[in-house]
Chain A
């Protein structure tokens, strides 16, 4: 549990981001460092002016999936952004924006929600990843 958990987030739908947030929070609660690397549509979802918007679900969710997700939200489940915030409070969670994706989306660091700690390239991400597991979501 000492090696960091490294998550590369590519997908920007609310279901995948929530799944990533749960994995992050669980690791953080166990005292395990977590490094997140935001690429493409996941990075887009972390824009300050979009983070609270509806990012939809993957196609396989269908109507039944949408209803199930809505029911959990109504029952009080935290949003993925809030889950990430809670995880960060425990310490050891670092969220970095992929610099290539920043260029792709024409983003400045100031466009991003404060949840994002900085911008880095893939090499720096790999350095911090060490021998820990790497997961692509």
Chain B
């Protein structure tokens, strides 16, 4: 299993729509192509939002999990 090294982290916990996506879009620009971005969010809509954002922008959603109300996403910049 390949080890994923996180280049940048976005803590969007406590932020409501559209901020988790806005912060993700801002942060993905700061990492090089192929690098990984981790996003933490508590907004319930963030799961669908991030999946949709990933599909539309082409930045692959490689991991997602939920733990006690906190959603964790790892995206790879295209």
Contacts and interface: CB of A to CB of B under 8 A. Distances in A.
A25 interface: yes
Interface residues of B, number: 14
Given A1-B56, A78-B19, A86-B19, A29 B24 contact: yes
Interface residues of A, number: 18
A29 B16 CA distance: 15
A78 B17 CA distance: 10
Contacts of B26: 86, 89-90
Nearest to B20: A29
Main secondary structure of the interface of B (DSSP, over half): helix
Interface majority SS (helix, strand, loop, mixed), chain A: helix
A128 interface: no
A86 B22 contact: yes
Interface string B5-24: 00000000011111101101
Interface of B: 14-19, 21-22, 24-26, 53, 56-57
Given A25-B18, A30-B56, 11 more contacts: A22-B17, A22-B18, A25-B22, A26-B18, A28-B22, A29-B24, A29-B53, A31-B57, A83-B18, A86-B19, A87-B22
